[in-house]
Amino acid sequence: MSSPGDQPEFIQKYPIEGGDFVAAGSVSINVKNLLKGIGFPSPVIRRVAIVAFEAEMNVVMYGGGGELRLFVSPRRIRLEVADQGPGIADLDLAMQEGWSTATPEMRERGFGAGMGLPNMKRNSDRLKIETGPQRGTTVRAEFDIC
Amino acid sequence: MASLSEIASWLQAEVLSGEHLLERRVERAHGCDLMSDVLCYSQQDSILLTGLTNEQAVRTAEVAGMAGMVLVRGKRPSAQMVEMAQQYQLPLLFTRLSMFDACGVLYARGLRGNSHFPAKEGD
């Protein structure tokens, strides 16, 4: 992930409320607007926003709340999204497209297709997930500014 | 390519937000009720057709960089959803046509889905 000396110039933290489907996604919109305000290229903003949104929805749906941390430097954007939830029992399985443990409520809202983690991987340049039963989950994603 | 204004007219749609943004032009459309798929398979500056009328549908459209959004099947959104679309500067159209018919009208007028374009990174 980040190399030594690649110090972020800017860090922003956003709390994420667990189970709050009405607010779910609002943190990612704030991230997108902030990056837009800084003036990053539109394609990288879209990739960051999509990964942030997928991760935020997972924290809301499964993680019981957590925090999104955004690290911005001129050449790289980094996201850390952490929760204190039950963790992902089988990460290899969860990375497979179509695998999901979503509830009917999540599916009614248009989510839970089992595409979240694979889509995070697809839209980031590097993705690392730390998880385990009763340890919570932390997603770290990096985006290079081309 | 078509403007959102033309799309609104072809779909006999009511404009619920973004009346001042209807000159935006789009060449791609994405018809989908599954927001996970919108995040995976849509392209920036497309128009999204959906029957999903909740807050996440608007946020998904915003995150995915949609040029506008059409609510199909006569499903009227809540005032909060319209307010959110206004806040995001996202044109929101409302039509009584079904998803199939709305997509058919736009296809007949020349709009296309992703399968008609060369795959790009992220497709």
Question: The complex's ipTM?
Answer: 0.86
In a domain, A87, yes or no: yes
Question: For residue range A73-120, what is the model confidence (pLDDT) as tens digits?
Answer: 989 999 999 998 999 888 888 888 888 888 888 888 888 777 889 999
CB A140 within 8 A of CB A123: no
pLDDT at position A1, please?
A: 61
Find chain A residues with C-beta within 8 A of B54's C-beta: 21, 109-110
Return the residue of B nearest to A107 by Cα: B34
Query: Is residue A90 in a domain?
Result: yes
Domain membership flag for residue B94: yes
Domain of A139 in residue numbering reads as: 16-144
The pLDDT score that the predictor gives to residue A80 is 97
- Looking at every residue in chain A, the average pLDDT score rounds to 89
Shortest CA distance to B106 belongs to which of B53, B63, B64, B46?
A: B46
Output B75 or A48, whichever has higher pLDDT: A48
Task: Chain B: give the shortest CA distance to residue A111, in Å.
Answer: 5
The per-residue pLDDT for B122 is: 46
Tell me the C-alpha distance between A123 and A96, whole Å.
Answer: 15
Which of B36, B60, B64 shows the shortest C-beta gap to A115? B36
Helix axis angle, B79-87 relative to B55-63, nearest 10°? 20
pLDDT at B123: 47
Domain containing residue A105: CATH number: 3.30.565.10
**β-strands A126-132, B2-3 pairing:** unpaired
Per-residue pLDDT at A2 exceeds 60: no
Domain count, chain A: 1
Cβ of A110 within 8 Å of Cβ of B52? The answer is yes
pLDDT along chain B (123 residues), means of 10: 97 98 97 92 95 93 97 94 96 98 98 80 48
The verdict on a CB contact (< 8 Å) between B55 and A53 is: no
Check which CATH number belongs to the domain holding B9 and give it: 3.40.1390.20
Q: In a mutagenesis test of the A interface, which of B32, B33, B35 is the best target, namely the one with the most A β-carbons within 10 Å?
A: B35
Spatial distance between the Cα atoms of A58 and A54, rounded to a whole number of angstroms:
6
Task: Give me the pLDDT at residue B116, please.
Answer: 80
pLDDT digits (tens, 9 = 90+) for A9-21: 789 999 999 998 8
Distance from CA of B38 to the nearest CA of A (A): 10
Instruction: Compute the distance between CA of residue B63 and CA of residue A82 in angstroms, rounded to an integer.
Output: 20
Cβ of A29 within 8 Å of Cβ of B60? The answer is no
Give the gap in angstroms from C-alpha B48 to the nearest C-alpha of chain A.
14
Q: Number of residue pairs across A and B with CB atoms under 8 Å?
A: 74
- Band of the pLDDT at A3, cuts 50, 70, 90? low
A21-46 pLDDT tens trace: 889 999 999 999 999 999 999 999 99
Query: Does residue A11 lie in a domain region?
Result: no
Structural domain range at position B78: 2-112
Report if residue A9 sits inside a domain.
Answer: no
Domain count, chain B: 1
CB contact under 8 A, B59 and A47: no
Does B46 lie at the interface with A, CB-CB under 8 angstroms? no
Query: Confidence class of residue A8 from pLDDT cuts 50, 70 and 90?
Result: low
**For a pLDDT cut of 90, what percent of chain A falls above it?**
62
**pLDDT at residue A38, as a whole number:** 94
Residue A65 has pLDDT above 70, yes or no: yes
Query: Is B59 in contact with A109 (Cβ distance < 8 A)?
Result: no
Predicted pLDDT at A6: 61
Cα–Cα dist B69/B65, whole Å = 11
pLDDT of A66 over the 60 cut: yes
